[in-house]
Amino acid sequence: MTTRGGDGTATPAVKTRKPRSSRTGRATMADVAERVGISAITVSRAFKRPELVMPELRQRILDTAQSMGYVPNQAASALASARSMTVAVLIPSMTNMVFVETLAGIHDMLLPRGYRALIGVTHYSPEEEERLIRTYLQFQPDGILLTGTDHTPVARTYLSALASPTVHMMELLDDPDSLSVGCSQEEGGRLMTTHLLERGYRRIGFVAVQLDPRTLARLDGYRHALEEAGLYDEARVWRLPDPSSIHLGAAMIDRLMAENTDCDAVFFCNDDLAQGALFQCQRRGIRVPDQLAVAGFNDLPASAWTTPTLTTVATPRYAIGRHAAAMLLDLMDGKEPPQRRLDLGLTFIAREST
Amino acid sequence: MTTRGGDGTATPAVKTRKPRSSRTGRATMADVAERVGISAITVSRAFKRPELVMPELRQRILDTAQSMGYVPNQAASALASARSMTVAVLIPSMTNMVFVETLAGIHDMLLPRGYRALIGVTHYSPEEEERLIRTYLQFQPDGILLTGTDHTPVARTYLSALASPTVHMMELLDDPDSLSVGCSQEEGGRLMTTHLLERGYRRIGFVAVQLDPRTLARLDGYRHALEEAGLYDEARVWRLPDPSSIHLGAAMIDRLMAENTDCDAVFFCNDDLAQGALFQCQRRGIRVPDQLAVAGFNDLPASAWTTPTLTTVATPRYAIGRHAAAMLLDLMDGKEPPQRRLDLGLTFIAREST
DNA sequence: GGCGATACTGTTAGCGCTAACCTTGACGGC
DNA sequence: GCCGTCAAGGTTAGCGCTAACAGTATCGCC
């Protein structure tokens, strides 16, 4: 109390000084400005519009900010500028590699431009998507990336009432007002089925799980191709709402055997299942492709390594993520993207299993 | 201009009315309040502290808000309340199932409590982690979840200068000031090696990739176990900085054969690699486990289905995510969590490959 | 020498929300 | 009848930042 009086004794009459840092204990822009001896707006510009500040001063500001541990407050910035620099991304699942790689494409495109992704997982449920849209709208995202085209009416209302640009990934939309990047799942189903027909298979089964719109589109492609060949038979289609897994694929082989089906080939709606099927065929001594051909979809890494290797269709998911993000960046800049509907195609990969 | 004059003609002298909606076109709390005929704070309470508003009025507020498409502005809320309701989560990789499942645990714990996760991917680089920490601090997260304990000095400074509670996942920390949830990777390596020794293998190799701290800890466990048995030989350890993949595992089998190593068992630092190794052994006609035993780590789904099935160690990653998030929730509530260091253990899974 | 152009920095006023305090009215107990 | 209490809602101020406009030098040019 006598010698080391602290602030109180040192500046008894001076009370002009503003609080050194905010309520939260963090340094604010005003703190940095005061320390450098300039106004807050110049600090703001040093960060956001560097070309407007003399290089020397700018450096001094950055150094001071660093030494004070100053970090800009994103909430305040968003509030004042009406730009959140945030993009909301909704995907159906995180455990499905397909969407994770799409995310990687999105990140690689957005981060260098200063945008951040807010990731939401819908678990393939439009209702959950609606809930997530509501939640994420609170962040006033500058843009939105959605998976698929299956949204609830309320979700559509939110999105259309909103100014934020939106791009749909995976499926392609025909509506000229909407933007979409993806590939035709129906064509994928058709491609694979045609391949199986060409290889001489005639009793081709289809296993659909999860029953999300993309799976059903593949099923459509399969059905159309077989109908055209006059070989479609509803009895060879299995529809299960369960999530996809290796386990389920293996179980399906058991079921096919138990039911004594006459399939000479089975087209699984994705690679997880097909891999499980291959594993189980190996266990049970079912010769693939002689006794039974197996086909998948998506080309997961392991599909090139199973015994036998798996015939599948590769989807350009990383590219879909990149292009969707690029399209969104254009929109957020107020530019019209080169195209509103971008089909990135599919790659058919014939391997040993067919 | 004559009959349907709109606002202008309807209220020529009245200019007290505030703008109907903000700059961004979105309805604001004030808009909702005006419509209901109350003040903004009551609207705020109707959302955040419902027990303070009469149920009837509250319902009227919520209905009106809904009909106007009102969504609270998170940035304004965060600024005014100094609470962002956001948790920053940093993980090394999104393509690695281990971290994705950890994320799922975190989500399941945080979302019901109203918190949102901001996910950052460090790509196993402390420098990138530092960059991400800086970026995400702008969001004033109420809490932070980090993977591992390998942070740059600058990152440590940021974190300690910060008030935000932080929990470390995966590795366990001995420092009593830090909070961590995980399991002992070293013990995992030791467990597996001991198992191989018990099965009679004497020339056990180890393949380490990525070389992140967790991999190196497993290697330590392996080394210690072998040293105790007097069987450690540096020549049987392969260290590769490449990311883990099935492909690399297969390539390693080729390399082991080419180098004519004398290993009777190989412990791969994770299941991706081990699966690739099993696939390649099958291709090359190497009998597992008779000719060569193969072991993995993490227990990925496919490991129960390969031929032969893979001996591995299951890590409680989902539980790690949940518990880390729970610990963080306690901290954010100002409570002391039951324990500051939570070891969730490991499960050894013996299968056919050893 | 006066005028405009250019380059840099400052002032003012809010963004939309909530913490902290304040008002109002109803009720009850002695 | 007075006072305290409580419930329900309102007022005020300000979170930390930036848009929009406003200076103030400096320079060049006719």
- DSSP of B63-103: HHHHHHT----HHHHHHHHS---EEEEEES-SSSHHHHHHH
Answer yes or no: is A78 within a domain.
no
pLDDT at position B244 is 95
- d(CA A42, C1' D28) / Å: 28
Q: What mean pLDDT, rounded, does chain A reach?
A: 91
Task: Give the pLDDT confidence score for residue A207 in this predicted structure.
Answer: 98
Within-domain flag for B161: yes
- In whole angstroms, give the CA distance from residue A66 to residue A32: 9
B232/chain A closest Cα distance in angstroms:
32
Give the torsion sign (CA, A98, A99, A105, A108): negative
Q: How does residue A154 score in pLDDT terms, banded at 50, 70 and 90?
A: confident
Q: Are B299 and B309 in contact (CB under 8 A)?
A: no
Chain A interface, best mutation among B28, B70, B73, by max A CB count within 10 A? B73
Residues near B203 by Cβ (< 8 Å), separated by ≥ 6? B231, B233, B236, B262, B263, B264, B265
β-bridge pairing A312-314 and A347-349: antiparallel
Last residue of a domain, one of A40, A72, A104: A72
Q: Between the CA of residue A205 and those of A237, A311, A312, B115, B239, what are the distances in Å?
A: 6, 15, 15, 45, 45
Q: Which residue ranges in chain B fall short of pLDDT 50?
A: 1-19
Residues B197 and B310 both lie in one domain:
yes
Q: How far is the CA of A11 from the C1' of C11 (A)?
A: 28
A46 sits in which H/E element = helix A40-48
Q: CB distance B163–A24 less than 8 Å?
A: yes
Cα B157–chain centre separation: 22
User: A149 falls in which pLDDT band (50, 70, 90)?
Assistant: confident
Is there a single domain that holds both residue B194 and residue B302? yes
Interatomic CA distance for residues A345 and B5, integer angstroms: 53
Answer whether residue A9 is part of any domain. Answer: no
- The model carries a pTM of 0.89
Distance in Å from D17's C1' to B38's CA comes to 29
Q: Are residues B192 and B298 in the same domain?
A: yes
Task: For A219-247, write each residue's pLDDT tens digit.
Answer: 999 999 999 999 999 999 999 999 999 99
Q: Name chain A contacts of B159, Cβ cutoff 8 Å.
A: none
Whether the Cβ atoms of residue A123 and residue A93 lie closer than 8 Å to each other: yes
Among the partner-chain residues B73, B140, B247, the one whose CB lies closest to the CB of A24 is: B140
Cα A83 to Cα A79: distance, rounded to the nearest angstrom: 7
Asked if residue A36 has pLDDT above 60, the reply is: yes
Average pLDDT for A293-307: 96
The residue among B13, B40, B72 that closes a domain is B72
Give me the CATH number covering residue A68.
1.10.260.40
Question: For residue A20, what pLDDT is reported?
Answer: 53
Question: Minimal Cα distance from B108: which residue of A?
Answer: A121
Q: Give a yes or no: residue A2 inside a domain.
A: no
Per-residue model confidence (pLDDT) at position A15: 33
Pairing of strands B143-147, B116-121: unpaired
pLDDT at A22: 59
Q: Do B260 and B157 have their domain in common? A: no
Copy the structure tokens of residue B92.
């090394």
Same domain, A63 and A169: no
Domain that holds residue A158: 85-183+318-345
Question: Per the CB < 8 Å rule, is A26 touching B140?
Answer: yes
A79 CB closer than 7 A to any strand C atom: yes
Under 8 Å between Cβ of B166 and B141: no
Residue B160: what pLDDT? 80
Domain count for chain A:
3
Q: Is residue A1 part of a domain?
A: no
Residue B144 lies in a domain: yes
A73 to chain B: nearest residue by CA? B138
The enclosing H or E element of A159 equals: helix A153-161
Q: Are both B231 and B279 inside the same structural domain? A: yes
| In-domain check, residue A24 | no
Calculate the CA A256 to chain-centre distance: 34
**Nucleotides on chain D within 7 angstroms of protein Cβ:** 8-12, 14-20
DSSP string, A96-123: SHHHHHHHHHHHHHHGGGT-EEEEEE-T
> Does a structural domain hold residue A5?
no
For residue A245, the chain B residues in CB contact (below 8 A) are 301
Same domain, A307 and A327: no
| Secondary structure (DSSP) of B140-156 | --SEEEEESS---HHHH
**What's the average model confidence in pLDDT over A153-174?**
87
CB–CB contact A82 B247 (8 Å): no
* Interface touch B95/A94, C-beta < 8 Å: no
Q: Is the CB of B57 under 7 A from strand D?
A: yes
In this predicted model, what pLDDT tens digit does every residue of A166-189 receive, in sequence order? 999 999 999 888 999 999 999 999
Q: What is the pLDDT of residues A49-61, one digit of tens each?
A: 999 999 999 999 9
Both B246 and B193 in one domain: the answer is yes
Does the beta-carbon distance from A104 to B116 stay under 8 Å?
Answer: no
**A25–B305 C-beta distance less than 8 A:** no
Distance CA A214, CA A184 (A): 9
Label residue A69 by pLDDT band (50, 70, 90): confident
Are residues A204 and A283 both part of a single domain?
Answer: yes
Are B56 and B38 members of one domain? yes
User: What pLDDT does residue A93 have?
Assistant: 94
CA atoms within 13 A on the CB side of A75: 21
**Same domain for A219 and A329?**
no
Query: Which residues of chain A does B95 touch, with a Cβ-Cβ cutoff of 8 Å?
Result: 97, 100-101, 104
Half-sphere exposure of B161 (CA within 13 A, CB side): 18
- Residue B192: CATH number of its domain: 3.40.50.2300
Work out the minimum CA distance from A293 to partner chain B, whole angstroms.
19
Tell me: cis bond preceding B289? Omega within 30 of 0 counts. Answer: yes
B197 and B285 belong to one structural domain = yes
Q: Would you state the pLDDT for residue B20?
A: 53
Bases of chain C below 7 A from a protein C-beta are 8-12, 14-20
Residues sharing a CB contact under 8 Å with residue A125, sequence separation 6 or more, in sequence order: none
Residue A241 preceded by cis peptide, ω within 30:
no
Contact B209, B312 (CB under 8 A): no
